[in-house]
Amino acid sequence: MKYLVMVQGTQADYEAMRGKASANSPAWSEDEIQAMFAYMGAINDDLSETGEFVDGQGLAEPAQTRHVTLGDDGKAVITDGPYSETKELLAGYWVLECESLERVTEIAERVARCPQPAGAADYPVVIRPIMDGSGDI
């Protein structure tokens, strides 16, 4: 079965990784950033070796987001950037093919242990089964 495993973050988290601290996120050092990349890279390598890795990507910061909706007149309404009412957004994901929900949960627990600076926000790692073409999971 395929699963989508998602990690979350905020604009402040991305800025903290560039060295700009905020009330909700301490500034990351270069060593802390490299530790995070090494940790996530090791997860990707392990999942590739087991054949469970289908795809995985980190996403650009929320400031580069574009939302497209339809207005009352049916025309597209396009807005850019993060919104103050939006808290966490998708920061990255994996598509994994795992034998069970228990196995993908083990992987999500490992992802949740990613090193980060003291005081950084802890977000849940979200698991969603991917439906097949027939609508079944």
Tell me whether residue 135 is in a domain: no
Sequence letter at residue 60: A
pLDDT of residue 83: 61
> 30-50 vs 101-112: helix axis angle to the nearest 10?
160
Q: Is residue 31 part of a domain?
A: yes
Other Cβ atoms less than 10 A from the Cβ of 39: the count is 16
Whether 134 is covered by a domain: the verdict is no
| First and final C-alpha spacing in the chain | 7
Structure tokens at 99: 């034998």
Q: What is the pLDDT of residue 45?
A: 98
In a domain, 119, yes or no: yes
Q: What's 80's domain CATH number?
A: 3.30.70.1060
What confidence tens digit (pLDDT) does each residue in 89-110 have? 899 999 999 999 999 999 999 9
Q: What range defines the domain where residue 18 resides? A: 2-129
Q: Is residue 117 part of a domain?
A: yes
Provide the number of structural domains found in the chain: 1
* C-alpha angle 30-36-38 in degrees, rounded to nearest 5: 100
Residue 137, in any domain of the structure: no
Given a cut of 70, the residues of the chain with pLDDT beneath it are 82-86, 135, 137
What amino acid is encoded at 68 in this protein? V
pLDDT given for residue 120 in this prediction: 94
